[in-house]
Amino acid sequence: MKLDLLNNKWIDIVFEGRNKSYGAYELRKKNTSTNVRAFIIGAIIFSLAVAAPVIIDMLPDSSDDDQALNDKITSIKLPPKEEKPKENLPPPPPPPPKQDVVKFVKPVVAKTNEVTEEPPKVEELKETKIGKENIDGDPNAGLSLDPPGDGPKGPAVVEEDNTIYNSAGIEVKPEFPGGMAKFYKFIENNYNVPSDSPGGKVFIQFVVEKDGSLTDIKVLRDIGYGTGKEAERVLRKSPKWTPAEQNGKKVRCSYQLPITLTAPQEE
């Protein structure tokens, strides 16, 4: 028997007695139809690739359509927007009364027989205006006066800055006369340490006013034995400080500092 490879009968011979549910049997059985389908698809793709330039040339040019559209567009001038008349406007002021006007005659040097127009006399210019021609005024016109104004404006009232600034962010900090070394020397000379005080630090806070005086004196922390009250008493005797400044102006400023106390020595 002659075996024809193009015929699918040989597949049954090869797979006789074998598992035909295996994928190889199905693939070989459908091999012919698969090859035909692949050939047809390849021929279609090849034909499209060859015919693509011809198809592109046959398509209409969009630039021609744009040019035709631009030719059809014409400029249209819109009508001017109508403005609504403003409401609640005050009536216009009445026209000024008509006043006599005397024509101004330019003085020229001429002979007596060449003078064609006499200049106005001084009496005529007292209650009249000077213009290009003579105009008779209205003697019966009423007298109109402009409404009184508010008068000259006075100087603007400058509000005083009473803000209490913090010494940490102020431009010019307040300072004791002579510096902080002088301040602690002042404390040393005037502070009476209680005899039973164990020593330590007293933290105080106060406000340096614009005139350099100290106000709102507070003891933030003391060590007892009357050390806080003694610190308040000494600060109230303090001479005036140099005030703080912000934007070139003297301002109120809050200040905090510690006072170190030494326990009294036993004799």
The token pair at 18 is: 């074998």
Nearest to 164 by CA among 244, 70, 58: 244
φ and ψ of 49, to 5 deg: -65, -40
Average pLDDT of the chain to the nearest whole number: 75
Q: Which pTM does this prediction carry?
A: 0.41
pLDDT of res. 111? 56
User: Could you tell me which residues are beta bridge partners of residue 242?
Assistant: 175
180-190 helix and 227-236 helix, angle to the nearest 10 degrees: 120
Task: Give pLDDT, residue 128.
Answer: 61
SS3 216: strand
Instruction: Quote the CA–CA distance of 123 and 120 in Å, as a whole number.
Output: 8
- Higher-confidence residue of 166 and 23: namely 166
Residue whose token pair is 């139809």: 33
Each residue's pLDDT tens digit, 140-194: 655 555 666 666 666 666 678 889 998 888 899 999 999 989 998 998 899 888 8
Q: Over the stretch 35-86, which tens digit does the pLDDT of each residue have?
A: 788 889 989 998 888 888 888 877 766 556 666 656 555 566 667 777 777 7
User: Strand, coil or helix: what is 208?
Assistant: strand
The yes-or-no verdict on residue 114 having pLDDT over 60 is no
Give the pLDDT confidence of 253-267 residue by residue, as tens digits.
999 888 888 876 665
Which band of pLDDT confidence, cut at 50, 70 and 90, is reported for residue 241?
A: very high
What pLDDT score does 173 carry? Answer: 92
Q: Would the pLDDT of 207 be above 80?
A: yes
